[in-house]
Structure 1
Amino acid sequence: MSGRGAHPFTPNEGAVRTKWRTRGEYPAFPFGAALVGFGAAVLVGALAGAIPAVVAARVKVIDAIRF
């Protein structure tokens, strides 16, 4: 690094990229990680909706109104 105020990173040497993917550049995180995260979010959301629905379906209507 020179003392004339040069930026410490040269192009493609680990600098954080802030633009969308163009030719020759890589995204900030692996595409597979995004798919795994999306799948986990869908699974958690489905369980969070299905479990209360199953419990509510097993309750008698008169008991649900009473309480």
Structure 2
Amino acid sequence: MDLDLRGELEALMTEIKKRQRHIEDQVFLISVLEHDGHNTVEQQAALKLERKQLALQMERQTKLLQKASSQT
């Protein structure tokens, strides 16, 4: 695997892990806020956007892995 591709994959994997953790934290926060009776519409919208971004990152990761496997 080419070094640039490896570096890009590693960076992307790190970003994905961070975003996944952030999403988990937001889900927990929203559940606490809802339990306390707060309006969570804005947080829900932000969470939806984060999930879309995660999906895009994972799609990019899949494409990079396919590219890497075709190079071997």
TM-score (norm 1): 0.44
Richer in helix (by share):
2
Which structure exhibits the higher relative contact order, with contacts defined as CA atoms closer than 8 Å and separated by 6 or more residues? 2
TM-score (norm 2): 0.41
